[in-house]
Amino acid sequence: MSEEKNLNFIEEIIEEDLANRKYTEVLTRFPPEPNGYLHIGHAKSICLNFNLALKFGGKTNLRFDDTNPVKEDTEYVDSIKEDLQWLGFKWATELYASDYFDQLYNFATQLISKGLAYVDDGSAEEITALKGTPTEPGKDGPYRDRPVEENLRLFEEMKAGKYKDGEKVLRAKIDMAANNMHMRDPIIYRIKHAHHHRTGDAWCIYPMYDFAHGQSDSIEHITHSICTLEFIPHRELYDWFIEKLEIFPSKQYEFARLNMTYTVMSKRKLLQLVEEGYVQSWDDPRMPTISGMRRRGYTAESIRNFCDRIGIAKRENLIDVSLLEFCVREHLNKLASRVMAVLDPVKLVITNYPEGQIEELISENGPDESYGTRKLAFGKELWIEREDFMEEPAKKWFRLAPGALVRLKSAYIVKCEGFVKDNNGTVQEVHCSYLPETQSGNDTSGISVKGTIHWVSAAHAIPAEIRLYDRLFKVENPSQEEGDFKEYINPDSLHVISKAYVEPSLANAAAGSVYQFIRKGYFCVDKESQAPKLVFNRTVSLKDAWAKEVKKS
């Protein structure tokens, strides 16, 4: 009878607000500053905000928090919109804090008129000095009691460009002794003679975050303004401005940001990785950015699913990246066609197969009929995986070894008759005989073998570059280790195989398409791939029980 609801704490608040008829419609917003690329942490926030609106029948705005012109750029605006769309979300209205500059200026004037804001001529150092510390109260500065008329005039002059950067600021007049540092007369406007990506040179004063964000929420009638934990101390200020300005009472709620093992999530650190060449770009497949994950072959659905599973709460967390990988495999398992590719090739010669003979075998493309079938060329010489042959087989080994039988996937059972080594002792060829009556689908032999391996025909296979990615860092939580986080970068996070062989059906594979390379993992075609030079990214490996077995002994 009792329905399991399992609401997170924000959903509970919304449900209560709706029950109390506090709001008739839920309006949330996603408010990125256009100063960088979106990452998986943003995806958590995006899913939260948009899904809340979806769940309770409301809407979500996209609002760019563009109040600091020196850091922001249209390039970022575009990438953010692209990522959001790719993730599968539709915003109700596209807005910019800079659209409200006039109104924000008026709000500031109102505050001055009420005696709640003043122009301070102090330098940054002087202002900081008077601010006190968390354990010591601040002190009132010399400009705090400037008359309203003078403040009004000075603020207007600031706007008119009469002063240089840093010469004056506008401050809210609250309480220099407040426990909350953010209430010690916070700066609300600063002078910046800088070009803004949208307003150009119309302004030389810009509002601070605290004076823009809450008011923007209020202007839009955002009902639930959701942000991360570090903004908790800002909430008192958020409410103060709304109260003094007597505007729509948006409410701020905070949840814990996402942290994930073996990566970093701060824009500053990600920027360093790009700028200092530890990765190639913002969309490097090793990056935790949305664009990096997209390029790596992660699907939007799997990222959304991941965000659902990690939940929303207020406690610090460090999510195991294996959960993300699970979500990716889960989706790709349903999505990806199965094909064969040999990453580390060694020749397999079928000694009793007629020279020059080619057969067309039929192979299924996936676990059920919906995937369809394709033709596979089979011949006397094949490429197989070097690791699928062992001269002296280990315990529980059921791949190729002298005398052993294995099935070549979708083809025949073969028996290993011998092998050829070069002077260095490296295996050059594996020799097998095949059992003609064991053809896949027409097997009349009654023989069953333990191992099945993948292969490609040497005469038909096409070469490809394959990029294997590993975790970017050697430690679970690089940000918490001693010293510079970059000391913990995994030097082997990228392994490029310049000459692998893939089956010919992949010759025209389009960038972005995803495949399962049987027994090797999920791969996608990189954006740099251009026939005849194919490039694949390994999205994620398959689970590997044999690797675990080896590790144990």
Partner RNA sequence: UGGGUUAUUGUGUAAUGGUAGCACUACAGAUUUUGAUUCUGUCUGUCUAGGUUCGAAUCCUGGUAACCCAACCA
Residue 271 beta carbon to RNA: minimum distance, rounded to whole angstroms: 12
What does the block give as tokens for 332? 């790709």
Cβ-contact 271, 36 below 8 angstroms: yes
Residue 462 beta carbon to RNA: minimum distance, rounded to whole angstroms: 20
Among residues 33, 156, 325, 465, the one annotated as catalytic is: 33
Whichever of 106 and 480 has its CB closer to RNA, that residue is 480
Whichever of 371 and 528 has its CB closer to RNA, that residue is 371
Cβ-contact 41, 258 below 8 angstroms: yes
- Strand intervals (E) in 26-140: 27-30, 59-64, 94-96, 117-120
Whichever of 317 and 428 has its CB closer to RNA, that residue is 317
Whichever of 284 and 540 has its CB closer to RNA, that residue is 540
- Edge-first strand listing for the sheet containing 94-96: 27-30, 59-64, 94-96
What does the block give as tokens for 393? 């087989």
Q: What phi, psi does 516 have (nearest 5°)? A: -100, 120
Residue 527 beta carbon to RNA: minimum distance, rounded to whole angstroms: 25
The residue among 322, 304, 432, 447 whose CA lies nearest residue 378 is 432
| Spatial distance between the Cα atoms of 353 and 410, rounded to a whole number of angstroms | 17
What does the block give as tokens for 427? 């295996």
Task: Let me know if 33 is a catalytic residue.
Answer: yes
Among residues 59, 267, 269, 347, the one annotated as catalytic is: 267
Residues in the chain: 553
Task: Let me know if 257 is a catalytic residue.
Answer: yes
Whichever of 31 and 284 has its CB closer to RNA, that residue is 31
Residue 179 beta carbon to RNA: minimum distance, rounded to whole angstroms: 4
Residue 533 beta carbon to RNA: minimum distance, rounded to whole angstroms: 26
Residue 368 beta carbon to RNA: minimum distance, rounded to whole angstroms: 10
Give the three-class secondary structure for 500.
strand
Task: Let me know if 184 is a catalytic residue.
Answer: no
Whichever of 87 and 258 has its CB closer to RNA, that residue is 258
Cβ-contact 206, 64 below 8 angstroms: no
Residue 358 beta carbon to RNA: minimum distance, rounded to whole angstroms: 19
> Looking at beta carbons, which pairs linking 92-95 to residues 24 or more positions away fall under 8 Å?
92/27, 92/59, 92/60, 92/61, 93/59, 93/61, 93/62, 93/220, 94/61, 94/62, 94/63, 95/61, 95/62, 95/63, 95/64, 95/216, 95/220
Whichever of 240 and 284 has its CB closer to RNA, that residue is 240
Whichever of 204 and 284 has its CB closer to RNA, that residue is 204
Cβ-contact 79, 47 below 8 angstroms: no
Among residues 144, 257, 269, 486, the one annotated as catalytic is: 257
Residue 385 beta carbon to RNA: minimum distance, rounded to whole angstroms: 10
| Spatial distance between the Cα atoms of 154 and 171, rounded to a whole number of angstroms | 12
Residue 147 beta carbon to RNA: minimum distance, rounded to whole angstroms: 21
Cβ-contact 399, 389 below 8 angstroms: yes
| Burial readout 96-105 (b: 16 or more C-beta within 10 A, e: otherwise) | bbbbbbeebb
Asked if the bond preceding 249 is cis, omega within 30° of 0, the reply is no
Cβ-contact 58, 92 below 8 angstroms: no
Q: List Cα–Cα distances, 86 to 33, 256, 469, 515, in angstroms.
A: 19, 24, 23, 20
What does the block give as tokens for 166? 């840093």
Q: List Cα–Cα distances, 57 to 6, 18, 218, 224, in angstroms.
A: 18, 11, 20, 13
Whichever of 294 and 454 has its CB closer to RNA, that residue is 454
| Spatial distance between the Cα atoms of 280 and 528, rounded to a whole number of angstroms | 13
| Active-site annotation, residues | 33, 257, 267
